[in-house]
Amino acid sequence: MMPSEIHTELRGRSWSIEILPFSFKEYLLARNVDIKDKNIMYGAGKTLLKNHFSEYMKWGGFPEAALLKTDFEKTKLIKEYMSAMYFRDLVERYNITNISWRILQTRSSRYFP
C-alpha cells in the first residue's frame, strides 16, 4: 500500500468528536490571556487584545489552530480542514464528479499562501 493510499484505506475507522470553534473569549483563555484584567480593554493591554483579535479573525476560532505557534503550521492545518470539507462533506456526499482538485488548491492558496 502506498503512503498516499493510507488515508483513503483507513478512513471510516475513526471515532469522530464534534468540536465547535472557540468564541473570542475562549480563544483568549486558550492563549492564556487574563480576561479579568481591566487593563486589557482600556490600558496598555489594548494593543495586545487587538493583536489577538486580528489573529482570531485571520485563522478562525479553530481550537487546534489557536494553540499552534507558527503561521506555517496554521496554514497547513487550515488547508487540511479545507480539503476535508470539500472532499468528504461536499464532493463525496453529493456525488460531484466534475471538480478539479487543482482549482480548489488554487483558490484556497489565495487565502492561505
Residue type (1 letter), 81: Y
pLDDT on residue 95: 72
- Cβ-based neighbours of 93, under 8 Å, separated by 6 or more: none
Across the range 89-94, mean pLDDT stands at 70
pLDDT on residue 68: 92
* pLDDT of 65 higher than 80: yes
Confirm whether 3 is domain-assigned.
no
Question: Phi and psi (nearest 5°) for 38?
Answer: -65, -30
| Structure-block grid coordinates of residue 110 | 489565495
- C-alpha–C-alpha distance, residues 81 and 88, integer Å: 10
pLDDT on residue 100: 63
Residues 61 and 94 in one domain: no
DSSP per-residue letters across 64-109: HHHH--SHHHHHHHHHHHHHHIIIIIIIITTT--S--HHHHHHHHH
Identify the band that residue 29 occupies on the pLDDT scale cut at 50, 70 and 90: very high
Identify the band that residue 44 occupies on the pLDDT scale cut at 50, 70 and 90: confident
Please state, rounded to an integer, the average pLDDT across all residues of the chain.
77
Across the range 79-100, mean pLDDT stands at 72
pTM: predicted TM-score of the whole model, two decimal places: 0.65
**Structural domain harbouring 94:** 69-113
- C-alpha–C-alpha distance, residues 40 and 34, integer Å: 8
| Domain-ending residue, one of 32, 52, 67 | 67
Residues 37 and 62 in one domain: yes
Is 72:31 a contact under the CB 8 Å cutoff? no
Confirm whether 110 is domain-assigned.
yes
| Structure-block grid coordinates of residue 103 | 482549482
Identify the band that residue 70 occupies on the pLDDT scale cut at 50, 70 and 90: very high
* pLDDT of 2 higher than 70: no
Residues 32 and 60 in one domain: yes
Residue type (1 letter), 3: P
Cβ-based burial of 24 (10 A; exposed 0-12, middle 13-18, buried ≥19): middle
- Spell out where 26-102 has E strands: none
pLDDT on residue 30: 92
